[in-house]
Amino acid sequence: MSDILQEVVAAVERNEPAALATVVGVTGASPARVGAKILVRGDGQTIGTAGGGRLEQAIVADARAALAEGKSRLTHYTLREEGDGAIGVLCGGEVRVFVDVFAPRPTLLIVGGGHIGKPLAEIARVLNYDVRVVDVRDERGNALDPASITAHTYIVLVTEDYVSDEAALRAVIESPAPYIGMIGSRRKCRMVLEHLRADGVADASRLCARVRAPIGLDLGGTTPAEIALAILAEIEMARHQGRADSRSKG
């Protein structure tokens, strides 16, 4: 068990996703024992056991689902062939498992920086984002690396011109990032997206629909800091599947 807990700590230190499934209740006959733990990594590898067989398969599947959702959960299994929570075995007992999700810190990838990128990075750090500011051009150093983008990376394109924005968008549009936002007017954004479609980017319409452009919620502010706040507010809304309604609206 101590090895599993050490692996949890190591995953958190590496900022990697992991889910720790712990058997918290057993009634009747069951191969699992209270306190048994299974660690499920983001790549699907596991450490530990809950007794093997279909029960363990069901626990691992639920842990992976919890990882994908990013939320911890309490699961229930009935060790019968039929009925609510049944997993198709004949032991007859019941098992409760708590799946504790350790999600990595979200990464805010700012391509371009500049007068909006600076306050955006400052606000994001307050919210515990891992902030990375890169450039689309190799010769400037700290270049954009599409291979480093994960399902926990939120991308903001705020370069100095639409040509650079378009180059960056082409590099990231097929990435697993859950959020891609591009600064600029509606006309500029339409032009960039039309270029992608015209160049025959595979499944361009679906990919372009992922792009938030113009970027940010309409909060009414116009200064760089206010625009940065509007951008991060939209990212937070996307992260938590929220809505932009006022809390006082009733």
What digits encode the pLDDT tens for the residues 188-238? 767 877 887 787 766 666 767 788 888 999 999 999 999 999 999 999 999
CA-to-CA distance for 152 and 109, rounded, in angstroms?
A: 10
Q: Can you spell out the DSSP letters for 114-175? A: HHHHHHHHHHHHHTT-EEEEEBS-GGGSSB--GGG--TTEEEEE--SSHHHHHHHHHHHTTS
Q: Which fold has domain 107-239?
A: Rossmann fold (3.40.50)
CA-to-CA distance for 125 and 121, rounded, in angstroms?
A: 6
Q: Does pLDDT of 6 surpass 70?
A: yes
Task: Report how far Cα 211 is from the mean position of its chain's Cα atoms.
Answer: 16
Q: Which residues, including other chains, have CB under 8 Å from residue 191's CB and lie 6 or more apart?
A: 162
247 band by pLDDT with thresholds 50, 70 and 90: low
Q: Which of 25-39, 65-79, 197-211 has the lowest mean pLDDT?
A: 197-211
79 band by pLDDT with thresholds 50, 70 and 90: confident
- Which CB contacts under 8 angstroms, 24+ apart, belong to 234-237? 234/179, 234/181, 235/108, 235/154, 235/156, 235/179, 235/181, 236/127
Average pLDDT over residues 79-89: 77
CB atoms closer than 10 angstroms to residue 112: 21
Q: Which of 31-45, 68-82, 201-215, 225-239 has the lowest mean pLDDT?
A: 201-215
Query: What pLDDT digit, counting tens, does each position of 151-181 carry?
Result: 899 999 988 787 888 888 888 988 999 999 9
- Mean pLDDT, the chain, as a whole number? 86
CA-to-CA distance for 222 and 125, rounded, in angstroms?
A: 22
Average pLDDT over residues 111-134: 92
Strand partners, 19: 40, 101
Both tokens assigned to 11:
């995953």
pLDDT of residue 230: 95
pLDDT of residue 26: 92
CA-to-CA distance for 226 and 240, rounded, in angstroms?
A: 21
pLDDT of residue 194: 80
- Higher pLDDT: 63 or 202? It is 63
pLDDT of residue 208: 72
Q: What percent of the chain has pLDDT over 90?
A: 43
Domain with CATH 3.40.50.720 in the chain: 107-239
